[in-house]
């Protein structure tokens, strides 16, 4: 049986992952008069570049076991996440958002980008797990999924079943904290890419890709069981989040200062 406390924790986490980005956006929309276009473009670009393009590459590389070494696999996953997401940002600001290069546009885009990630990983995933938990507790998990799921996935689903039964609420709390930390980091990375586009300093695109990869490597190492302690993996994200918040607190001044310098020199 999956405990009711664990199911309730998943439900609360799903709601927070949905509402948190929206509340942040509405707050800054009122305070900074954010535009809706960068916000929605951030969501669309994230979905296209990570859920379609990146996953197609993973189907080829991981699906065909082209990389077997777990450390190399972790590095590959982290680098591809950085490459696809930051390139997506770069292309968006170069094309669809070519007239939206103000600080507030980067903020809106970053909230959209980080928000849809929180929704897909935090809300949709938890809803799926709640449904699975309900099936487990009703005794119909095996019969329902056996008729709808390919036999090749049965082992994975049985592993998921055991994981849900054995998990405690602290895992959900850690996951929720990770979503909030990742959200802040995503907004900060957006500012780095926007800086690269607005001031034609493309080196910052590569810096953003590397920073993104560094952010993802601890999680990748945990997934491949190289790092076995979840608190060790999450401690890296906490440090990155603190750095991201400090950076974000200075970005408005950075953008204004650079704009003034360009105006005076021009």
Domain boundaries, the chain: 4-265
Average pLDDT in the 70-99 region?
96
Looking at residue 152, its pLDDT comes to 62
Looking at residue 151, its pLDDT comes to 65
For 92-111, write each residue's pLDDT tens digit. Answer: 999 999 999 999 999 999 99
pLDDT at 236 over 50: yes
For 107-125, write each residue's pLDDT tens digit. Answer: 999 999 999 999 999 999 9
Looking at residue 266, its pLDDT comes to 46
pLDDT at 144 over 90: no
pLDDT-based confidence at residue 263 (cuts at 50, 70, 90):
very low
Its pTM stands at 0.91
pLDDT-based confidence at residue 260 (cuts at 50, 70, 90):
low
| Best CA proximity match to 154, nearest among 140, 143, 165 | 143
pLDDT-based confidence at residue 141 (cuts at 50, 70, 90):
confident
Start-to-end CA span in the chain (Å): 69
Cα-based distances in Å from 114 to 21, 46, 78, 179, 190: 8, 8, 17, 9, 9
Average pLDDT in the 218-230 region?
88
Looking at residue 229, its pLDDT comes to 87
Classify each residue of 58-89 as buried b or exposed e, where b means 16 or more C-beta atoms within 10 Å of its C-beta.
eeeeeeeeeeeeeeebbbbbbbbbbbbbbbbb
Question: What does pLDDT average to over the chain?
Answer: 91
DSSP class of residue 235 equals: H
Dist CA 181 CA 185 (whole Å):
6
Average pLDDT in the 226-231 region?
88
Instruction: Name the percent of the chain lying above pLDDT 90.
Output: 71
Average pLDDT in the 34-61 region?
97
pLDDT at 212 over 90: yes
pLDDT at 223 over 70: yes
For 153-208, write each residue's pLDDT tens digit. Answer: 777 777 888 889 888 888 999 999 999 999 999 999 999 999 999 999 999 999 99
């Amino acid at each position: 049986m999956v405990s009711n406390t664990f199911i309730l924790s998943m439900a609360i986490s799903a709601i927070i992952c949905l509402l948190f980005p929206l509340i942040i956006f509405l707050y800054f929309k009122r305070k900074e008069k954010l535009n809706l276009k960068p916000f929605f473009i951030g969501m669309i670009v994230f979905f296209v570049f990570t859920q379609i393009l990146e996953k197609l590459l993973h189907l080829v590389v991981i699906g065909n076991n082209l990389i077997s070494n777990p450390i190399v696999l972790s590095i590959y996953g982290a680098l591809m996440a950085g490459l696809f997401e930051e390139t997506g940002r770069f292309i968006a600001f170069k094309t669809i958002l070519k007239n939206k290069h103000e600080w507030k546009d980067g903020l809106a885009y970053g909230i959209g980008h980080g928000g849809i990630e929180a929704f897909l990983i935090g809300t949709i995933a938890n809803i799926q797990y709640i449904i699975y938990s309900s099936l487990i507790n009703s005794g119909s998990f095996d019969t329902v999924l056996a008729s709808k799921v390919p036999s090749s996935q049965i082992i994975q689903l049985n592993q998921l079943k055991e994981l849900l039964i054995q998990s405690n609420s602290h895992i959900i709390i850690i996951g929720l904290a990770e979503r909030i930390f990742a959200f802040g980091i995503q907004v900060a990375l957006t500012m780095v890419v926007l800086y690269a586009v607005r001031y034609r300093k493309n080196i910052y695109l590569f810096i953003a890709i590397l920073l993104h990869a560094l952010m993802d490597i601890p999680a990748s190492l945990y997934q491949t069981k190289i790092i076995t302690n979840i608190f060790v993996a999450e401690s890296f994200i906490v440090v990155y989040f603190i750095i991201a918040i400090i950076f974000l607190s200075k970005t408005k001044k950075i953008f204004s200062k650079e704009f003034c310098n360009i105006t005076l020199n021009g």
